[in-house]
A and B are shown apart, each in its own frame.
Chain A
Amino acid sequence: AQSVAQPEDQVNVAEGNPLTVKCTYSVSGNPYLFWYVQYPNRGLQFLLKYITGDNLVKGSYGFEAEFNKSQTSFHLKKPSALVSDSALYFCAVRGTSASKIIFGSGTRLSIRP
């Protein structure tokens, strides 16, 4: 069975500091991994994905994520946080044999000025 874990309900970071939002997964076969962001009263927006190739994936708004197969992780990172990055972030995974994408419980990122 597929599963995604986001161990932190909330992450607090000062503006200008680097940020990391953690995600671990479990799937059969090779994983396809995604990050989405949700702003208040809006739907989720796609940030980036890992399908194959380079373990470091770059996405929208300066975000990147690193795929680590041995640790089954796909942490979201940004070198310098902005207040406007404050939002709810969801990690998602799909296994090669499945068509559905499974989401985690979300991590609320709060960037203080």
Chain B
Amino acid sequence: EAGVTQFPSHSVIEKGQTVTLRCDPISGHDNLYWYRRVMGKEIKFLLHFVKESKQDESGMPNNRFLAERTGGTYSTLKVQPAELEDSGVYFCASSQHRGEFNSPLHFGNGTRLTVT
């Protein structure tokens, strides 16, 4: 099966610009998670979709971040306007069963975002 794919792999933007990250989970996976890792620190939870619904968005830092998962398939994470502290690696992960949160997460390779 195809794994979780993320696009782009790298993005360099200037402060104030907009960036949209995309994640395609493994087909059939209901759970989709977004995480962010700032260099050397923990992988910080951002939010969790179950199909198209936001199950938990308690980790979203502020209203500059908008995540969507239309139709319960791929997801996008938009940062608008970007700030310097938004730099980091954004990971997407998916797992199979709705309501079953102990299935292993399958991670994409991440998008490295640099805001200058």
Contact yes or no, B43 A100, CB < 8 A: no
A-B CB contact pairs (8 Å), 14 listed = A32-B101, A34-B104, A34-B105, A43-B108, A46-B106, A51-B102, A94-B102, A100-B48, A101-B105, A103-B43, A103-B44, A104-B42, A105-B41, A106-B42
Of A32, A34, A100, A101, which contacts B58 at CB under 8 A?
Answer: A100
List residues of B (37-57) whose CB comes within 8 Å of A's CBs.
40-45, 48, 50, 55-56
**A103, B105: Cα distance in complex, Å:** 12
Beyond known contacts A44-B105, A103-B44: 20 more, CB 8 A cutoff: A34-B105, A36-B105, A36-B107, A43-B4, A43-B93, A43-B107, A43-B109, A43-B110, A45-B107, A98-B56, A99-B50, A99-B55, A99-B56, A100-B45, A101-B101, A102-B45, A103-B35, A103-B42, A104-B43, A106-B43
Q: How extensive is the interface on chain B, given as a class?
A: 20 to 34
Q: Which residues of A contact B44 (CB under 8 A)?
A: 103
1/0 per residue, CB under 8 A from B, across A71-113: the answer is 0000000000000000000100010001111111110000000
Contact yes or no, A105 B40, CB < 8 A: yes
Q: Which residues of B contact A94 (CB under 8 A)?
A: 101-102
